[in-house]
Amino acid sequence: MKRYVILILMVATVMSCKTKQKFALIETDYGNMKVVLYDATPLHRDNFMKLASEGFYDDLLFHRIINGFMIQGGDPDSRGASSDKNLGAGGPGYQVDAEIGAYHFKGTLAAARQGGPMNPEKKSSGSQFYIVQGKPVNASELDMMAQRKNIIYSEEDKARYLKYGGTPFLDSDYTVFGEVVDGMEVIDKIATVQTAPGDRPVKDVKMKVKIVK
């Protein structure tokens, strides 16, 4: 009998380890954002954790900020970049295969990528990401987007979009691999900073990213 009890406990422990969620903390001068990384996107989750653990993101910039849309960072060329340097093309030297499925609600974490015919497989940048701020969404807009993109939103998805907003026009085109679970107000603070032509903040918005429990 004891042997069976021990076996059950061992199986429960293994299952618990497999399903334990992974979190990252994105630190900025405007506050911190804790994000949960989705198990449904293991390639992006593991890549983000690897880079964060190596300190890859430390002192990089949110180099592209559009109020009512998103805040974007993760370009290694942004570290110590002069104000006239063009940013947005840098990366770790590789791409990540697309894991498209989750939707762009406010607060979601998604991978930036090269658009157009040069990237038909919609592969993600190896390091650049954006966090959705978005705008309010009404039911007719969401229905129109669903028809245009052949997406079937669940009632829960619809309710979340209607309550919090987001950027549904990006759905089915970019990989969403996490979401902010604490510090949602920081998105709005960063999104409203003054920007120059090209959407780069006039004053640098630096980040540090680490993996947390």
**Token pair 């900073």: residue:** 193
* 122, 126, 127, 133: CA torsion to nearest 10: 10
The 10s digit of each residue's pLDDT in 202-213 is 999 999 999 998
Structure-token pair, residue 199: 């959407």
- Predicted confidence at residue 10, as pLDDT, reads 45
Cβ(171)–Cβ(151) below 8 Å: yes
Q: Could you give the CA distance from residue 176 to residue 193 in angstroms, rounded to a whole number?
A: 24
Q: What is the mean pLDDT of the chain?
A: 93
- Predicted confidence at residue 5, as pLDDT, reads 42
Q: Taking residues 22-33, what's their average pLDDT?
A: 98
When pLDDT is cut at 50, 70 and 90, the band that residue 13 belongs to is very low
The 10s digit of each residue's pLDDT in 61-81 is 999 999 999 999 999 999 999
**Token pair 């949960």: residue:** 36
The 10s digit of each residue's pLDDT in 94-114 is 999 999 999 999 999 999 999
* Residue boundaries of the structural domains of the chain: 20-132+172-212
Residue 16 pLDDT > 50: no
The CATH classification number of 20-132+172-212 equals 2.40.100.10
Q: Could you give the CA distance from residue 120 to residue 171 in angstroms, rounded to a whole number?
A: 16
Report pTM. 0.91
- Predicted confidence at residue 19, as pLDDT, reads 65
Amino acid residing at 35: V
